[in-house]
Homo-oligomer: A and B are copies of this chain.
Amino acid sequence: MTTIDPTLLPFFQPQGIVLVGASADPTKLGFGVARNLLQSDYKGAIHFVNPKGGVLLSRPLHPQIADVPPPVDLAFLLIPAPFVPQALRECGQKGIRAAIIAAGGFRETGATGASLEDECLRIARDFEMRLMGPNCIGMLDTHLPFDATFLPPPGPTSGAVAFISHSGAICAAVVDWARGQGFGLSRLVSLGNQLDVCETDVLPAIAADPYTRVVTMYLEGVTDGRRFLQVAQSVTRHKPVLALKVGRFAGGQQAVASHTGALAGADAAFDAAFRRAGIIRAQTNEELFDWARALAWSPLPHGPRVAVLTNAGGPGVTAVDAIESSGLQLATLQPETEAQLQAVLPPAASVHNPVDMLAGASPEQYADCLRLLLADEGVDSVLLILPPPPMYSAGGVAKAIIPTIYAATKPVLVTLMGERLIQEAMEHFRAARAPEYRFPERTVAALAVLTQYAAYVQQLATSPIMLPDVQPERAQRVLSSAHEAGWLPPTAVTELLTAYGIPCPASHLAQHADEAAALARQIGFPVVLKLVAEGITHKSDVGGVRLGLVDETAVQAAFTDMLTKVPQLEPEAVIAGVLVQQMIPAGQEVIVGVTCDPQFGSLVMFGSGGVEVEGLGDVAFALAPLTEADVEYLLNQTWAGRKLAGFRHLPPADRTAVRQTLIRLGQLAADFPQLAEIEINPLLVLPEGQGVWAVDARARVGE
């Protein structure tokens, strides 16, 4: 577990807090924070400041920050933006080392607000203060306890789910949803504009809280992708982290010139980063808290095998559909289990999984069957379906099964179907911390997340692979000679890839037809000619590639023809010459590449190359440098990767060489972040044991 940054301690364990801008007017937020602080039962000192003086909630209103008696190590500034810098100075002079700035009117409103922020940051640096906000609603901890927010009462009940948010507005709804869905919160932090303290700073501090069993995050982005990744990785090994990342379509995507860049889209980097960091990504608010409840309350399953226990066929079928489509498995019950189920159920009941006890199932039958299923070694988790039973109350069933759920070391998730007829049962389940959902599909989704997280923590942590036999100095020489941003000449690209052990065909640049013929003779026939020119992205589209040239005459003819025709089609192109290249035997063609994300750095791409499948987007991304798990993901996630194993008449291709190439490319990208794009298209993959060839490659140095 990571340790907490000591400069953040005043936020999480404040000895005393001063509320600057406390107000006796109950319609003001300055009253709301005062009320919440007092009502939260915070045990530290609470001080109020208001220049008018007077009394608020039986406490004095000090006219100035300087007047506040010790202890005080945290300030909550609820004053208009223009007054914040002066208040910060006074806090600093008072020795206060942490402040929450609630007001809006900073960077989000324009240049004046931004310079106000800059001024605040300078003051904070001078006094070694940490700042939360501005433009936030504060933070709370239900266990300390401590509520420094202006959320409308009642505050959240105490629980095991923490919430970190870039949006203040969503916090009130989250507190309210939590109450409505019967789970409590441990800590809630609203980050606002993140002038100083950001999501990456608070994540380990929140996760270190012993009362927090799961961390949920509402993210609009991250401040420093790689640091976030590193911090999150250290957290997720011990505690599950769920994130909802919004703004999927809002990202301003930079202009891109390669397939790799175009295929990456705005969201591929977040997907890759969350996967690497072990963060579970929810797509909706509902998923975020459905899953959080399960992770907070349930033991983790040892595998994907689910037993379904129901008193009705229809919802059982729905659950089985959802299980099959979510990657879980329907458990195969042991014969003894089925025999024991048969003994407690009527003859017409189905004792195969899904176990259908029929509509007449009693609370005792529910409890007996649940115990039998949990005892089956082939069962990793149980999904229990409970519509309002025709002859018994759902509450009675809940009471009968809760002791078994409570004692179980395997997760039991309940689908409690209905609404008002199941209120009593719902209250029983919630009081017992047994996750319940209204619909089978949502229950299965939560169970799938539990299973996924369990698999993640069981895996050994893997570090990125760094091969020793690469030549960074040689690559550095190539890049040093590239004086400006832009595409590298083909010979430089070949040199770069060769330095990292990626095989490139023998290749030389020719300026004349005769020179081309001579180079071809030197390389050995057959050869390929490839135009080298600025301003042409896809050479083959304009006749800039000629394959299978078998003798000198053919080379000369192709050279002349190319240099006649291409300028007609692409008058703007600046032709640097023609590459004469070794002709490679046939194999499977894939595309591998590198693209650069502004937040997470280099991403390695793998997928199907070629016009035939470009429209299908059969590509996957992982962060450079790659781990073993990343390499497997790239190969298994794509059809391009799966068919390397052989398919119909395609013989098995050299997957080992592809793995090596991906690792080497990721290492090259990580060692030289100035490489904004690399694309090998195609990477030709020969049959097993025969290797790969980077037949055509491009690389661009960024600004």
Residues of A within 8 A of B (CB): 27, 29, 32, 104-105, 109, 150, 152, 165-170, 172-173, 176-177, 179-181, 218, 220, 244, 246-250, 283-286, 311-315, 317-318, 320-321, 324-325, 348, 359, 387-388, 390-391, 417-422, 438-442, 538, 540-541, 608, 611-616, 618, 639, 642-643, 647-650
Choose among A172, A181, A315 the residue with the greatest number of B CB atoms under 10 Å from its CB. Answer: A172
B-chain residues with CB within 8 Å of residue A315 when the two chains form the complex:
167, 169-170, 173
Chain B proximity of A613: nearest CB distance (Å)? 6
Q: Is A390 within 8 A of B317, CB to CB?
A: no
Complex contact A179–B390 (CB within 8 A): no
A321 and B648 within 8 A (CB): no
**Residue of B whose beta carbon sits closest to that of A639:** B615
In the bound complex, what is the Cα–Cα distance between A592 and B29 (angstroms)? 67
Q: In the complex, what residue of chain B is closest to A330 when comparing beta carbons?
A: B249
Query: Which of B165, B172, B348, B650 touches A611 (beta carbons < 8 Å)?
Result: B650
CB distance from A392 to the nearest CB of B (A): 10
Q: Given the complex of chains A and B, what is the CA–CA distance between A94 and B261 in angstroms?
A: 78
Cβ–Cβ contact A418 & B325, under 8 A: no
CB distance from A50 to the nearest CB of B (A): 20
Q: Which residues of B contact A616 (CB under 8 A)?
A: 613, 616, 618, 639
Residues of B within 8 A of A172 (CB): 387-388, 390, 418, 421
Who on chain B is nearest to A615 by CB?
B639
State in angstroms the CA–CA spacing of A32 and B246 once bound together: 50
In the complex formed, the residue of B with least CB distance to A617 is B639
Residue of B with least CB distance to A267: B321
Which residue of chain B has the shortest Cβ distance to A419 in the bound complex?
B180
* A313-B176 contact, Cβ under 8 Å, with A249-B324, A286-B441, A613-B616: no
Question: Do the beta carbons of A421 and B152 come within 8 Å of each other?
Answer: yes
Is B180's CB under 8 angstroms from A418's CB?
A: yes
Please report the C-alpha to C-alpha distance between residue A511 and residue B220 in the assembled complex, in whole angstroms: 71
Q: What separation, in Å, do the CA atoms of A312 and B173 have in the docked complex?
A: 11
Name the 7 nearest CB pairs between A and B, nearest first: A180-B419, A167-B314, A169-B312, A176-B418, A173-B417, A249-B324, A615-B639
- Is B312 touching A167 in the complex (CB atoms < 8 A)? yes
A250 and B321 in contact, given A390-B150, A418-B176, A419-B176 (Cβ under 8 angstroms): yes
CA distance A560 to B130 in the complex (A): 85
B422–A388 touching, CB < 8 Å:
no
- Given the complex of chains A and B, what is the CA–CA distance between A440 and B650 in angstroms? 47
Chain B residues contacting A318 (CB-CB under 8 Å) are 244, 246, 285
A152 touches B390 (CB 8 A): yes
- Contact status B388-A170, CB under 8 Å: no
B317 and A649 within 8 A (CB): no
Report yes or no: A181 in contact with B419, Cβ–Cβ below 8 A: yes
Apart from A244-B318, A616-B639, what 10 extra A-B contacts exist at CB < 8 Å? A167-B315, A169-B312, A172-B387, A173-B315, A173-B387, A220-B317, A249-B320, A284-B441, A616-B616, A616-B618
The answer for the CA separation of A538 and B649 in the assembled complex, in Å, is 9
Q: Flag if B248 contacts A321 (CB, 8 Å).
A: yes
Q: A152-B390, A173-B418, A247-B317 are in contact. Are A647 and B325 (CB under 8 A)?
A: no
Distance (whole angstroms) from the CB of A293 to the closest CB of chain B:
14
Question: Given B150, B170, B244, B419, which contacts A179 in the complex, CB threshold below 8 Å?
Answer: B419
Question: Which residue of B248, B348, B541, B613 contacts A325 across the interface (Cβ within 8 Å)?
Answer: B248
Q: Are B388 and A314 in contact (CB under 8 A)?
A: no
Of the residues B170, B283, B311, contact of A169 by C-beta under 8 Å: B311
A181 to B439, CA, bound (A): 13
Chain B nearest CB from A346 CB (Å) reads: 11
A438 in complex: contacting residue of B177, B314, B611, CB < 8 Å: B177
By the criterion CB–CB under 8 Å, are B420 and A388 in contact? Answer: no
Contact residues in B for A421 (Cβ distance below 8 Å) = 152, 172, 176
Residue in chain B with minimal CB distance to A246: B317
Instruction: Give the residue name and chain of the B residue nearest to A650 (CB).
Output: B611
Instruction: Name the residue of chain B whose CB is nearest to the CB of A29.
Output: B390
Residues of B within 8 A of A312 (CB): 167-170
Check B247 against A286 for contact (C-beta < 8 Å): no
Is A420 in contact with B314, judged by CB distance below 8 angstroms?
no
State A258–B180 Cα separation when bound (angstroms). Answer: 52
Let me know if B247 and A419 touch, CB within 8 A. no
Cα(A541)–Cα(B391), bound, Å = 62
Q: Among B247, B608, B611, point to the contact of A648 (Cβ < 8 A).
A: B611
A655 vs B642: C-alpha distance when bound (angstroms): 31
Q: Collect the chain B residues with CB atoms within 8 Å of residue A105's CB.
A: 348
Q: Is A611 a contact partner of B647 (Cβ separation < 8 A)?
A: yes
Instruction: Please report the C-alpha to C-alpha distance between residue A111 and residue B541 in the assembled complex, in whole angstroms.
Output: 68
In Å, the complex CA distance between A29 and B359 comes to 12
Judge whether B176 and A538 touch: CB under 8 Å: no
- Say yes or no: A648-B420 contact (C-beta < 8 A), given A167-B312, A286-B439: no
State how many angstroms separate the Cβ of A67 from the closest Cβ of chain B: 29
Q: Which residues of B contact A325 (CB under 8 A)?
A: 248-249
Closest to A418 in B: B176
Shortest CB-to-CB span from A493 to chain B, Å, is: 22
Chain B residue nearest in CB terms to A616: B639
B441 & A109 in contact (Cβ 8 Å cutoff): no
Residues of B within 8 A of A152 (CB): 388, 390, 421
- With A172-B388, A639-B615, A649-B541 as given contacts, are A314 and B218 in contact (CB-CB < 8 Å)? yes
CB-based nearest B residue for A385: B169
Ordered by A's residue number, 19 sampled pairs between the chains whose C-beta atoms are within 8 Å are A166-B314, A168-B312, A169-B387, A170-B314, A170-B387, A172-B418, A173-B417, A176-B419, A177-B438, A246-B321, A283-B441, A285-B318, A540-B649, A541-B648, A541-B649, A611-B649, A613-B616, A614-B647, A615-B642
Residues from chain B with a CB closer than 8 A to the CB of A27 are 391
Q: Residues of B contacting A618 with CB < 8 Å?
A: 616
- Nearest Cβ in chain B — how far from A362, in angstroms? 13
